[in-house]
Structure 1
Amino acid sequence: MSLLLVAHGSRDPRFATTLRGVRDAVGAATPDRRVELAYLDLTDPLVGTALDALAGAGGRVTVVPLLLGDGYHSRFDLPVLLDESRRRHPGAVIDQTPVLGSISLATALVDRLHEAGAHSGDGVLMYAVGSSDEGSDEAARRRGAEVARLTGLPVEVVFATKLGPRARELRGALARLRAAGATRIVGLPYFLSAGLLTERVEGLLRFLAPGCAVAGPLGAHPAVVDAVAAVADNRVPLSRLIVAN
């Protein structure tokens, strides 16, 4: 059985480096499986190329979207690519699991906060990528609420692609954290890897909240590896999108 981890892709080389680390950690945790990594866009190998290599000889391929939100990419883009591969390789069984973010990674986020030196009196500004699917954004807000419960710190969630004119959403979130009593702000990326989007938010955060601390991305945290294994072992294939011949 093969496991194909699928990430979005990025022009930032740090992204591929981090995702290879996730792949290697998952491979070490699941030595009975061949574990490969592919991308939806911008980074090689692309999904179709990786699936041709894995499915060409038949057998079963389990595809795990390394996406923290269940939005357009997981519901439409990826199923189309998998259907194309099924037609090219009719002897293979290709299943798609729920996205990585369907399992709470709040404990990993809390660990990243602790590593950044978060303490009583801090307020947490958590930032996710943002999606056109409101359900995906709501899932990120739930993760923020979980972090708040686990730490006892006030948490505000913003979206890197939806900061608004003059970073209005970010400014509002910071004002609410200060109103809640935060004397210092800690930035918390709900991202697997650092990249251009995290840098954008963090640059604004350092300007708007001098003296802030910034936590690291999730990366290959053990909770991420465990979540990949969990969705792979208990996969619930999403509805397959059948595209016209």
Structure 2
Amino acid sequence: MSVLLVAHGSRDPRFAATVTGIRDAVRRGRPDVRVELAYLDLNAPLVGDVLDDLAVDVEPVTVVPLLLGDGYHSRFDLPVLLDAARRRHPALTVAQTPVLGSAGLVDALADRLREAGAGAEAGVLMYAVGSSDERSDDAARRRGAELADLAGVPVEVVFATKLGEDAVELDAALTRLRRAGARRVVGLPYFLSPGLLTERVERLLPDALVAQPLADHPAVISAIVDLAAQPLPPSILARSG
């Protein structure tokens, strides 16, 4: 079996460095399988190119989307690429797992808060990328609610691509945190890597503590390894058999 980790891609070199580190950690966690990394856009190698290479081995490929939201990229873009690879290589067995964000990763988020020095009087502004699919945004909001329960602090979730004119959505979230009793704000990126979108929010939080992105936190790596270990669906096996 082979495992293909699929990331979105970014013009910011920090992103590729981060997901490459994640790939290397997954390789250490699964030394028994081949683990590769590909991108949907903006970086190389692209998904189709890596699938062409993996098809030579005629082994099942499990595709794990390194996406925190289950939106357009996971529901449409990636399945189209997998279908195209199946047409090019009829013997290829390839299946897509749920996105990384389906694992929750609340323990990792809580650790990042503690590392930033968040205390009991802190309020958390958690920021995700934002999606055209409201189901994806709702999933991020659920992560925020789970974090609030676990950490015992108020958490507000905003989206870096949906801050509104003059950042009205962010200002409203900060107001709600203050009304909830927060005496200090901690910015918590629900991102794998720092980048332009995280910085867009953080520039508006000059007096806040800022936690680190999830990156290769052990809980992230464990979640990927668990997703990659899921058995291929019977329908996929039957179609390739």
Fold shared, TM-score > 0.5 on shorter chain: yes
Offset of residue 56 of structure 1: 2.5
Residue-by-residue CA offset, 1:43-94 (whole Å, 9 max, x unaligned): 1111011111111231111100000011100010000000111111111101
Alignment check: 8 A CA contact 2:127 2:189 kept: yes
Kindly report the root-mean-square deviation, in angstroms, between the aligned alpha carbons of the 2 structures: 1.2
SS at match of 2:228: helix
Per the normalisation by structure 2, the TM-score is: 0.95
Deviant stretches of 4+, over 4 Å: none
* Equivalent in the alignment of 1:227: 223
Q: What TM-score do you get using the length of structure 1 for normalisation?
A: 0.94
**Which letter does structure 1 place at the counterpart of 2:100?**
L
Quick check: 1:7–1:66 contact (8 Å CA) kept in 2? yes
Cα deviations across residues 184-230 of structure 1 (Å, max 9, x unaligned)?
A: 10000000000110010001122xxx2x1000000001111111111
> Would the alpha carbon gap of residues 24 and 109 (structure 1) be closer, same or farther in structure 2, given more than 3 Å must change?
same
Tell whether 2:90 aligns with 1:90. yes
Q: How does 1:148-187 map to 2 (within 5 A)?
A: 148-187=148-187
Q: 1:45 and 2:45 equivalent? A: yes
State the Cα distance separating 1:236 from its structure 2 match.
6.4
Given that residues 123 and 153 in structure 2 are in contact (C-alpha distance below 8 angstroms), is that contact kept between their aligned partners in structure 1? yes
Q: What per-residue deviation string (whole Å, max 9, x for no partner) do you get for residues 148-204 of structure 1? A: 011110000000000000001000000000111111100000000001100100011
Q: Does residue 218 of structure 1 match 2:191?
A: no
Q: Which amino acid is the alignment partner of residue 129 of structure 2?
A: V
Q: Could you tell me which residue of structure 2 aligns to residue 62 of structure 1?
A: 62
The answer to whether the 8 A contact 1:58-1:89 is kept is: no
Partner in structure 2 of residue 243 of structure 1: none
Q: Give the secondary structure class of the aligned counterpart of 1:156.
A: strand
Q: Identify the residue that residue 200 of structure 1 maps to in structure 2.
A: 200
Cα deviations by residue, 1:17-36 (Å, 9 ceiling, x for unpaired): 00000000000000001111
Q: Structure 1: which amino acid aligns with 2:137? A: D
Question: How has the CA–CA distance of structure 1 residues 190 and 151 changed in structure 2, closer, same or farther, with 3 Å as cutoff?
Answer: same
Q: Hey, what's the Cα distance between the residues in 2 that align with 1:56 and 1:62? A: 15
Distance 1:123 1:3, change over 3 A: same
Query: Secondary structure at 1:204's aligned position in 2?
Result: coil
Aligned-pair identity in percent equals: 69
Provide the C-alpha distance between the structure 1 equivalents of 2:90 and 2:41, rounded to a whole number of angstroms. Answer: 25
**What is the aligned length?**
235
One-letter identity of the residue aligned with 1:175: T
User: 2:203 aligns to what SS in structure 1?
Assistant: helix
| Distance apart, 1:235 and its partner CA | 4.9
Gaps of at least 5 residues in structure 2 are 237-241
Q: Equivalent residue for 2:5?
A: 5
Deviations 1:101-155 (A, max 9, x none): 1111000000000000000111000000000111110100010011101111000
Does the Cα contact within 8 Å between 2:7 and 2:38 map onto a contact in 1? yes
Q: What is the rounded CA distance, in whole Å, between the counterparts of 1:54 and 1:234 in structure 2? A: 19
- Please tell me whether the aligned partners of residues 62 and 232 of structure 2 are also in contact (alpha carbons under 8 angstroms): no
- Counterpart residue number, 2:239: none
Return the alpha-carbon distance in structure 1 between the equivalents of residues 155 and 188 of structure 2: 10
Is 1:100 matched with 2:100?
Answer: yes
1:223 and 1:76 map into 2 onto residues whose CA distance is: 27
